[in-house]
């Protein structure tokens, strides 16, 4: 059960990373950021990407805690 949660959190991290990367690409390599709708799109992609990436350190901590010996 615990490993399923870690797998889900890692997949959410990579999905968030791809959203953040796509927003950075839209901002850097297109002119969509000059319009209001483009600004909103880029902000939403970046915001959702960062929110989805945030549980990853928790997944790493859970994975580390599972490997520890109970004394």
Please state, in angstroms and rounded to a whole number, the distance separating the CA atoms of residues 59 and 13. 10
Q: What are phi and psi of 66, to 5 degrees?
A: -70, -30
Taking only Cα atoms into account, the Rg of the chain, rounded to an integer number of angstroms, comes to 17
Q: Please give the DSSP secondary-structure letter assigned to residue 68.
A: S
Tell me the C-alpha distance between 25 and 70, whole Å. Answer: 46
pLDDT in tens, the chain (71 residues): 567 878 888 899 999 999 999 999 999 999 998 999 999 999 999 999 999 999 888 888 878 888 887 66
C-alpha span between 10 and 22 (Å, rounded): 18
């Amino acid at each position: 059960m615990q490993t399923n949660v870690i797998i889900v959190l890692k997949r959410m991290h990579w999905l968030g990373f791809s959203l953040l990367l796509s927003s950075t690409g839209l901002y850097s390599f297109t002119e969509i950021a000059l319009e209001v709708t483009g600004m909103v799109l880029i902000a939403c992609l970046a915001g959702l990407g960062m929110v989805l990436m945030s549980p990853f350190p928790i997944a790493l901590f859970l994975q580390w805690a599972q490997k520890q010996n109970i004394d």
